[in-house]
A and B are shown apart, each in its own frame.
Chain A
Amino acid sequence: MSKQIVNTESNAAESLMRVDGLKKHYPITEGVLRTEVGRVRAVDGVSFEVRAGETLGIVGESGCGKSTVAESVLRLTDPTAGSVYFDGEDVTAYDDTALKRFRREAQMIFQNPDSSFDPRMTTGESVAEPLKIHGVGPRSRRLEIARDLLERVGMSGEDAARYPHELSGGQKQRVALARALVVNPRLIVADEPVSALDVSVQAEVLTLLNDIQAEFNLGVLFISHDMGVVREVCDRVAVMYLGEIVEMGRTEDVFNDPEHPYTRALLRSIPTVGVESRGTDAGLRGEVPPPSDPPTGCNFHTRCPEVIQPDGYDFEQAHWRGVMNLRVAVERHGVDVAGLRAFVGVEDDASVSPADADAMKAELRREHDIPETLTDPSAEATLEAALDDIVRGDVEDGRAVLAEEFETVCEGESPPLDEDGTGRPTACHRDGAAAPGGDD
């Protein structure tokens, strides 16, 4: 243990692990030749560092790539591009021997304690197994170390003789922590370590993780979808959306003053305990686009409540979001004009009467949260023209009108993760600009 501490103190850079431009793409192949027809961009260029004694949280919804980051930094899966430096050495360049040595220093804890233990091994044997793999001591010595560690995570030495099925979920996760610690690692990657546990047990495992981290001066990369848990254990947090980090900073800063619209929306969607906030609207419509076909520009612009308005128009922000909903729908999968005709009761080959056309347009507006008339007359005229095209069946013309007139910077360029005006890395074109309607 003392050797570790000397090590980290002498490390002037302080950074235990540094990840630079990490990408992991999974090819989509087709046919016998397995020609690549597309790529799932699970992780699309993320950079961060984990210091000794620090917990960095990566938070995001399912499919945002957070678990792929965890696997890539430990080289459980080989990254497509980018580098991972551990102690200044590039992990991605390691050969097998070096990789084995590295894996003694960096350990992982998984989400489901039920599936991460061999049911035929006692907990003592499970905890001792990493020592065996790394060639430490005779069996009796290994079991002794295992028993010692079980005690440190709040189990008793006698538990070493028990089998996984005899333990509760929380106890299993304690054993998993003991197993990770047994080889004296300096970095722990924990992928949703408490998501499978009841809330009363979560607290106990999280407290233990905090204590152990302080005692051993560990760096921890903590992956979770649960903002509450992240707030509890992380010193810094990185928010991921569709394979990219959109905001990173000290946990309290990110939670108290979120800069990125996605972070804001995510925090608003957490149901808070207490009846005061009942009925507040999260305002996030739609779903995460598929990572095989991410949007152009800012990944979040298809759902962002704060998406930037085009020059020359003056929308109310909620109405502008509605128009963008329509644009996104038209760009993504077109409009089901036949369904729309059936909805208002137009026969298959009949021409659309003006009254029917109005009904169809009203339905389109309703579906995309656009009001009956926009407050800006010129925007209203443009929208009406596009809707006329669409209900006539000329969806492509309507799309072109919308795309040309209502173009936003958000769909153009991908915003860099920089500190413009915010003092904290945020990937948003609004950088520095206040949220519309004031900061809440």
Chain B
Amino acid sequence: MSEPLLSVSDLETQFHTDAGTVFAVDGVSFDVDHGETVAIVGESGSGKTVTSESITSILDTPPGEIVGGTITFDGMDLTTLSETALQDVRGKRISHIFQNPQNGLNPVYTVGRQIGEAIRIHDHGDPEVPVQRQVVDLLDKTGIPEASARVDDYPHEFSGGMKQRVLIAMALACDPDLLIADEPTTALDVTIQGQILRLLEDLQAEHDMGIIFVTHDLGVVSEIADRVVVMYAGKVMETGTVEDIFRNPSHPYTRALMDCLPGRGGSMDRIEGSLPDVTDPPAGCRFSPRCEHATEACRSGDQPPLWGVDNGDTHEASCVYYDAEHDEGELAGGEGATGGHQ
């Protein structure tokens, strides 16, 4: 198999604050291939956004700092690139879209001018074709009706869903290899969300882009992802194909997260306790203080390694029950196994 498009390995990103060092991303690894959608899913504070922002170093530094790991994109290690070299990657090779389309557009310029700017800055596109023409094509591609009439409109004349389409058009202006979408549909209504998800799928197929989709919504994940990375408190809890994760959720955290979804018809559970203090994370598995199955082995050392689940080479869980000595069948029971696993 050839090299993946993007390979994040053992990434560590920290924030140095007055209250101490925040271990926002603490040893995260995953790959993204051409034409593949990888969803990073987690609750607020899990480090999913910081992971996505570390890739192109768009975090505020200081207080943020990438202290370890490598991010290999097309043979380059992005963590060691100079700012100038990074600027060439951002927008041109790797594009971002964000949660709130309101904040992504400058209110005093027309949307056409803002998209044209992306093309001009990166010196992209066919120099023979007027930029305005290229902009209209982009808007048309993202499903904006009457694109040629709307290109001279200002952002406030667009609805939220339409603004997100404009931002997608802008992100696609330079035909990027990788699109990082951070909660792109969270601020939108559910009927508009469906439209945007389908648009992203179509555009991905057309451009053979890799997509990193950051979200807290498991419903959206099951709709769009090829592979899933479940994060909690800066660590990867479980990773696998979308079938692995939804047919056979294996880490106790993933299971708990699915059990607390409302409106499934069944009973709605909750996860006891609260998120750990990220300046002083608990020893062992980050989830152990809230896990009903936690044993002594879970509470010491570092986060368990990602053990293979079901002998599959795609599905891994960071849980001691999946190592050679434990029986993961014990996780199935409702009541927690108590200490002393020998």
The interface of chain A, by Cβ under 8 A from chain B, is 61-62, 168, 170, 198-204, 206-207, 225-232, 265-266, 269-275, 278, 281-282, 284-285, 287-288, 329, 333, 336, 338-339, 342-343, 367
Contact = CB atoms under 8 A, between A and B. Distances in A.
A266 B190 contact: yes
Contacts of A206: 262, 268
Given A199-B218, A227-B263, 13 more contacts: A61-B191, A230-B263, A232-B263, A266-B190, A270-B190, A271-B223, A273-B222, A273-B246, A274-B222, A275-B243, A284-B195, A288-B189, A342-B148
Contacts of B192: 287
Interface residues of B, number: 46
A271 B263 contact: no
Contacts of A273: 218-219, 222, 246, 258, 261, 264
B260 interface: yes
Given A204-B270, A275-B243, A282-B194, A198 B44 contact: yes
B260 A287 contact: no
Contacts of A201: 270
B162 interface: yes
Interface of B: 43-44, 145-149, 159-162, 189-195, 197-198, 216-220, 222-223, 242-243, 246-247, 256-258, 260-265, 268-271, 274-275
A265 B193 CA distance: 13
A343 B191 contact: no
Q: Which 7 A-B pairs have the closest CB atoms?
A: A228-B263, A271-B219, A339-B148, A231-B263, A203-B270, A232-B262, A203-B260
A40 B223 CA distance: 36
Contacts of B265: 231
A269 B194 contact: yes
B45 to A, nearest CB: 8
A88 B144 CA distance: 50
Given A199-B260, A203-B262, A287-B162, A275 B247 contact: yes
A270 B271 contact: no
B222 A272 contact: yes
A283 B245 CA distance: 27
A336 B140 CA distance: 13
Contacts of B145: 329, 367
A284 B194 contact: yes
A168 B274 contact: yes
Nearest to A208: B270
Contact of B223 (A226, A227, A278): A278
25 contacts: A62-B160, A168-B274, A198-B43, A199-B261, A202-B260, A203-B262, A203-B268, A203-B270, A228-B261, A228-B262, A228-B264, A229-B263, A230-B263, A265-B191, A269-B190, A271-B194, A271-B197, A274-B222, A275-B242, A275-B243, A278-B242, A282-B194, A282-B195, A284-B194, A339-B148
